[in-house]
Amino acid sequence: MKLHKETAKIYIPDQTNETEAFSRTTHLCIAAHQDDIEIMAAQPIIECFQNEDKWFTGVVMTDGRGSPREGIYLHTSDEEMRLIRLEEQRKAAVIGGYSALLLLDYPSTEIKDGTKEEPVDDLLQILRITRPKIVFTHNLADKHDTHVGVALRVIKALRSLDQNERPEKVLGCEVWRSLDWMNDPDKVVLDVSSQTNLQHALLGVFDSQISGGKRYDLAAMGRRQVNATFFDSHGVDAATGLSFAIDLTPLMEDTSLHPSDYINEFIQRFEKDVTNRINRMS
C-alpha cells in the first residue's frame, strides 16, 4: 500500500502481516480524528472483539494537531499533540483488538477541501485492499466540518469502486450531533449494551482529550444510555446502550443522488412528523 503522506502510518496490533490483516477485515471505520472511531463505532468493535470470523479495521484521516488543550497539555505544541494522539490511537487499537489501524495524517484543511483528490485516492486503495462488508463513517448531518468532509470523501471513494468491490452497507454514525432527531423507522439502531468495560477502556485511553478539557468518555457513554432509555416512550428499556446511524448505502449505489438532497429527505420526514403531531394534539 502506497499512501500519499510520507508520515502516514500502518499499525497491526497482533503483528500479523499487512496482507492478512487487511484481507480479514469485515468491518471498516473511516473517521476524521483520533478517538472518533471509539465514539461512533463501538458496536462493530464489540461485534468483532475476540471473534476470529469478524475483524475491525480503523482509519483516521487527520493528524490531530488542532485539538483543544488544557491542564497538563496546555503548553503542548501542535506537533507534540499530534504524536500524543497517534500513540493514544495505537493503544486503543490494541485494547479493541483491531485487525489494523491506518493513520493517514492529513491536515484538516485538506480533508475539508473537496478539490483534493489525495484523500480519496488513499481511501479507494484502502477499500479495495480490505474489501469490508460494512463501512462506518461520519453522518452527513454532523455539525463538525471535518467530519462531513470525511463522509463526503468516503462516498466519493465508494462510488469509484466497481460493483463487485463495494461493501454491503455504509453507515453514518453519531459524533458531533446526536441522531435522536430522526424518525424511528429511519434510524439504524446499533445495540451497544454489552462489554461496557471495553467501551470505557477504549474511550478512556485518550487522556489528551479528557484531561485536555473534553469529557468525551462520559459524554459518549451517557449518550448511549440516553438513546436506549428515550428510544421507546411506551415500553420498558430493551437495551442499556444504543447508538444511532443513518444508512448511507443509497448514496454509494445511486451516483446521481446528491448527498444534501438525501439528508434533506430525513429532515423533511422529521419536520412532517413534528408538524403532524402538533396538529393532532391541537
Q: Does a structural domain hold residue 154? A: yes
Q: Could you give the 3-state DSSP secondary structure of residue 137?
A: strand
- 100-106 and 188-191 beta bridge pairing: unpaired
CATH number for the domain including 29? 3.40.50.10320
Name the packing angle between helices 196-204 and 216-230 (round to 10°): 150
Q: Are 47 and 27 in contact (CB under 8 A)?
A: yes
Residue 34, domain member (yes or no): yes
Q: Measured between alpha carbons, how far is 168 from 6 in angstroms, rounded to an integer?
A: 32
CB distance 157 to 123 below 8 Å? yes
Tell me the average pLDDT of the chain: 95
Domain with 211 in it: 9-271
Q: Is 118 left (phi over 0), alpha (psi -120 to 50) or beta?
A: alpha
**Which phi and psi angles does 33 have, rounded to 5°?**
-125, 160
C-alpha cell at 265: 429527505
Asked whether residue 185 is domain-assigned, the answer is yes
Residue 176 located in a structural domain: yes
- Beta-carbon contacts of 274 under 8 Å, excluding residues fewer than 6 positions away, are none
Write the CB contacts of 32 (distance below 8 Å, at least 6 apart in sequence): 60, 61, 62, 108, 111, 138, 144, 146, 147, 149, 150
Which pLDDT score is estimated for 203? Answer: 97
Domain membership flag for residue 110:
yes
Q: Is residue 3 part of a domain?
A: no
Predicted TM-score (pTM) of the model is: 0.96
Number of domains in the chain: 1
pLDDT digits (tens, 9 = 90+) for 225-256: 999 999 987 778 889 999 999 999 999 999 99
E strand segments, 49-187: 56-62, 100-106, 134-138, 169-173
pLDDT tens per residue, range 190-234: 999 999 999 999 999 999 999 888 899 999 999 999 999 999 877
Cβ(173)–Cβ(41) below 8 Å: yes
Does a structural domain hold residue 90?
yes
pLDDT at residue 80, as a whole number: 92
